Amino acid sequence: MQDNRRKIRVLVVDDSALMRKLISKLLERDEEIEVIATAIDGYFALSKVAQLKPDVVTLDVDMPRMDGITALNEMVSKHQIPVIMLSSLTTRGAALTMQALEKGAVDFICKPKSAAQVGEMADELLSKVKGAVHSNVLALNAQSADGKTPTRKKVTSPPPRRAEYKIVAVGASSGGPHALRYLLPRLPADLDAGIVIVQHMPESFTSMMARWLDDICDLEVREARDGDLAIPGRALIAPGNRHMKVKRTAAGCEVRLDDGPLVNGHRPSVDVLFRSVAEQFGSSATGLIMTGMGSDGAQGLGDMKKAGGLTIAQDKESCSVYGMPRAAQDRGAVVKVLALTEMPTYVIGTVGRMVDLEESYAGTR
């Protein structure tokens, strides 16, 4: 836990001397932050971590000699230090970032395309460093280490139409990829609800995360497209930079994407998704608000609760960043608080499974 009587001590790691200087200047604009050292690669970074014991490390993903992924392994496993990755907005950058998140990085920031644009990332950088210092690295380690081999029972066709459709809506931010990597593989392909997810991430990263999750899940997981159906056994992730809403139709839960203004500083926004779920599905919906900084989703979860939906928040101990769940609880929007390890079983028990319905129908014939 960070001592509030002193500044947040940050180590900046980047192979570019210019980027080290610019990032350090951005951080030191804030009186709560002190850059205690910089490093040009993973070797120097690990030496300085052991010597100086920083509160947070900003770590470039792609560096010569020892890259960020290799250095991250030791920083997380040996020192339990919160690490924020700095990544490029490329397909390769997205893939490396997913790998870093899998190995225990708390969060990431996309580098601007040029040094002249570095100032544009100032607010995000400062807020994520301040959030990271309160993160639970041990919880991230536990989630990363607890893998699952799927049985690959993917949904191949939509289920028969029926009068009532159920939906599970999930919102997450910092630490969310870890939490989703724990939750989704433990939900069966015959889960009797479609799943819609907002995870704060930029464009190209959400599609990479969807493929990353699909590879380990019995559920079908993919980035949402406008008009997609959130059918039982399928999880749809909002694409970066687009809001996602749902609409009840004769075919079930249809996803609608739009380019509306930022909400709570985000697009996609969890609040936008949750509000539409409340309006369209009422008591047939379950809402999960998971790890993340800020308050996005708190108001929308409250709308779901008022509409009769079941609202669940991840507990403090299993969150890497206990911001969004806390904001939702403070607003009285939460019906149930659960540890991440309890969520899969609880969701299955609440929503049910298609096979159970089919068996009950067969028994009445």
Residue 295 a catalytic site member: no
Residue 320 a catalytic site member: no
When computed from its CA atoms, the radius of gyration of the chain, rounded to whole angstroms, is 21
Residue 296 a catalytic site member: yes
**Does residue 241 contact residue 202 with C-beta atoms inside 8 Å?**
yes
**Does residue 126 contact residue 33 with C-beta atoms inside 8 Å?**
yes
Report how far residue 224's alpha carbon sits from residue 214's, in angstroms, rounded to the nearest whole number.
13
Q: Which of 134, 200, 243, 266 is catalytic?
A: 200
Identify how many contiguous H helices and E strands the chain contains and give both numbers. Answer: 13, 14
Instruction: State how far the alpha carbon of 113 is from the alpha carbons of 40, 62, 120, in Å.
Output: 20, 15, 11
Report how far residue 228's alpha carbon sits from residue 352's, in angstroms, rounded to the nearest whole number.
22
| Cβ neighbours of 2 (radius 10 Å) | 17
Q: Which of 135, 173, 174, 295 is catalytic?
A: 173
CA angle 325, 328, 334 (to 5 degrees): 95
Q: Which of 107, 190, 296, 303 is catalytic?
A: 296
Residues marked as catalytic? 173, 200, 296
